[in-house]
């Protein structure tokens, strides 16, 4: 019995040190060396300040900005509370929110069908991308607010549109933060509305 207890305690110590200390340090070190930008959250800076992450969604409420998908993560885009709404498709709260979003978007662009990702949250609530259709839907508003042509807005969106990974995985997508940063860079609005 004593021998078994001794072996169990030693195995606990060895596996704790090996898997709880050494392995995480090695993996973290390799990630920092091989994938530095990705390991650190793909942060984007502006004027020396971090303004967001390429891979974590954030909200943009001003009319001069490309809007993200709705978020159910905590108090809206709370990266510490990544989660969907957990509402089923027949839940009245979800139906009311989607109907309100549809009405608001229909008033913004009455001649266009509303892309589903502008009224539904992603599973994480932190999706940084929208579909090209969702970006195109917002082009008239952006052009009007920025005082530029729709074609100029489309060119910026196109630069930040990624295709399918490896040519067949996923769907084309537009990174909202990158578009908004370039909009501010090329067609700035007043300081009060600019990205902080």
pLDDT tens, residue by residue, 85-97: 788 889 998 899 8
Identify the pLDDT of residue 89.
86
Per-position b or e across 141-180, b if 16+ CB within 10 A of its CB: bbbebbeeeeeebbebbeebbeeeeeeeeeeebbbbbbbb
Reported pTM: 0.77
Identify the pLDDT of residue 137.
97
Asked if residue 177 lies in contact with residue 52, where contact means CB atoms within 8 angstroms, the answer is yes
Identify the pLDDT of residue 92.
93
Asked if residue 58 lies in contact with residue 180, where contact means CB atoms within 8 angstroms, the answer is no
Please name the residues in contact with 112: beta carbons below 8 A apart, sequence gap of 6 or more: 137
Q: Is 117 helix (H, G, I), strand (E, B) or coil?
A: helix
Identify the pLDDT of residue 129.
93
Q: Each residue of 9-68: pLDDT tens digit?
A: 999 999 999 999 999 999 999 888 898 877 777 888 888 888 888 888 888 878 999 999
* pLDDT value at 79 more than 90: no
Q: Each residue of 97-129: pLDDT tens digit?
A: 899 999 999 999 888 999 999 998 888 878 899
Strands (E), 10-73: 43-46, 49-53
């Amino acid at each position: 019995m004593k021998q078994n207890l001794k072996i169990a305690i030693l195995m606990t110590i060895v596996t704790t040190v090996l898997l709880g200390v050494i392995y995480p340090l090695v993996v973290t070190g390799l990630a920092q060396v091989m994938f530095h930008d990705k390991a650190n959250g793909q942060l984007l800076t502006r004027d020396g300040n971090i303004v967001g992450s390429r891979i974590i969604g954030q909200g943009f409420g001003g009319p001069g900005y490309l809007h993200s998908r709705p978020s159910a993560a905590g108090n809206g885009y709370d990266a510490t509370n990544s989660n969907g709404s957990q509402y089923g498709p027949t839940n009245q709260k979800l139906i009311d929110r989607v109907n309100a979003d549809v009405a608001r978007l229909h008033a913004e662009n009455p001649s266009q069908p509303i892309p589903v990702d502008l009224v539904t949250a992603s599973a994480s609530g932190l999706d940084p991308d929208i579909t090209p259709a969702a970006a195109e839907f917002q082009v008239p508003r952006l052009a009007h607010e920025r005082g530029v042509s729709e074609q100029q807005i489309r060119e910026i969106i196109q630069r930040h549109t990624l295709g399918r990974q490896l040519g067949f995985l996923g769907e084309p997508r537009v990174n909202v933060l990158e578009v908004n940063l370039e909009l501010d860079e090329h067609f700035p609005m007043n300081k009060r509305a600019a990205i902080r």
